[in-house]
Amino acid sequence: MSGLRFVPPPIPERPLAGFALLDALRTNVLRMWPREAYEAPALTQAALGRPILLLNEPEAVRRVLVENEDNYTRSPLRIRILRPVVRNGLLLAEGEAWRHARRIAAPAFSPRALPILARHFALGAQEIIASLEADAARGAPVDLLDLARRWSIALSGKSMFSLEMSDFGPRMHALMTRYIEHLGRPFLLDVLLPLRIASPRDLMRRRLEKDWIGMLDEVVERRLRTKRTGAGGERDLLDLLREARDPESGAEFSREQLRDQVATMLVAGQETTTSGLFWTIYLLALHPALQERIAEEAAGLDLGPDNAAQAFQQLAFTRAVFSESLRLYPPVFMIVREAKAEDQAGSTRIAPGATVMIAPWVLHRHRHHWQEPEAFDPARFLPGAPRPQPMSYLPFGMGPRVCIGALFATALSALLIASIVRRFRIALASTRPALPVCVATCRPDHAPAFRLQPRGAAATAARQAAA
């Protein structure tokens, strides 16, 4: 379709303040950051008399996320919104409780575990390709935003529980959609009320929590029961977490702790994977020549389950495309902390109780960190390219609390993207650009329709199936 091009999201010319700033938190965080934010070392804004500090200097980012990380806590708003769905998992644990859980979980997410999980990713990708072939045979446009969420759930189920998600997938999809589209969004009273006072939305979140946690207990129990009966199938992430021990104390996860870690991995991984997959495929639809490069790279590789981990290492261009997509559309677009004590972060003095923002969205598009920051250029991440400036590329965070599943999220996405593009050419069915709306995650303002054109032998098979 002619007329398609990459359209960067608009940047506000003037900063917001007061209730307008709070409204941006609720509707689209990108409205908070004016052009100055993408050029200055720091930006101070105010809401309800409280300063909000946006830090862009590498030394300031390092100070908050790495050097003095213990001085900064999760914001009450983030705790309010996330606690019902992740409980006391790694995402919200603090202090020694977090360090203890991280030590136990770390081996399950080491590179040594990649062959175990990549096998599940590849098996899931094969099922996804078969489903897409049926869609292509019908010739109707597909909603890849909805499909990406369903793919994420299916792949999470396979890699975490070795379970087909026919029983739990629809429930999980419905609960996650209810959370992301409604209860994961902050409302005014969520911001204004102290954490000890429940907001009206908190009451709705508690009802969701009961359904969500109850379902996860059911899933975990089914998986453990299959292990006890000797019908456990292949090893998976739940096995790795159950076997993990704290190297200092020898402690393991309790049943409740195991469930909370599973909840965290599902919530943090499922929607961020959905976002990463959607925006990467969207960008590829706008750049057909890059699709051909991925197809050529994947053509000679065995992407099947027995070789998936090795194939992932050979997908250099596919990984570069995914990395550049995460630069332009980081799923974790904003990291918010509150300072316990006074601190100096780069050139910015931080008072006790101050709200500190580190925004990967802004850092990834900052004029002082990147050349042509609004351009989509996967060559930035190819082997041999200059490395990004320190602390300027944070798609999975940074420091001790960097996303523990970053490697697996990248492997899952790269293997699936390579599998899809090797089998299909992808095109948009409309010239309307997709613009990002960042609230709970970074999603498009509408669900664009895509068309899939099978390649080569796949095209012949699709025509025969349609006949």
Contact call for residues 131 and 452 (beta carbons, < 8 A): no
For 56-104, the DSSP string reads -SHHHHHIIIIITGGGEEE-HHHHHHHHHHHTTSTTT--HHHHHHHHHH
What is the rounded CA–CA span in Å between residue 277 and residue 40? Answer: 31
Of 436, 417, 414, the C-alpha closest to 426 is 417
Q: How far apart are CA 290 and CA 211, in angstroms?
A: 43
Name beta bridge partners: 42. 55
Mark out the alpha helices in 315-455 (DSSP H runs): 316-328, 360-363, 406-423
Query: Which of 332, 407, 404 shows the shortest CA–CA distance to 98?
Result: 404
Residues facing 338 on adjacent strands: 73, 355
Distance in angstroms (rounded) separating the CA atoms of residues 419 and 313: 14
Helical ranges in 87-193 per DSSP H: 95-105, 114-138, 144-161, 169-178, 188-192
442 assigned to a ligand binding site: no
Q: Are 120 and 437 in contact (CB under 8 A)?
A: no
Three-class SS of residue 9? Answer: coil
The alpha carbon torsion through 340, 345, 349, 353 (nearest 10 deg) reads -20
**Is 212:84 a contact under the CB 8 Å cutoff?**
yes
Question: What DSSP designation does 10 have?
Answer: P
Dist CA 326 CA 305 (whole Å): 26
CA dist 173 and 175 (Å) reads: 6
Find residue 335's DSSP bridge partners: 358
User: How distant, in Å, are the alpha carbons of 180, 212, 449 from that of 174?
Assistant: 10, 10, 21
Task: List the binding residues for heme.
Answer: 403
Task: List the binding residues.
Answer: 403
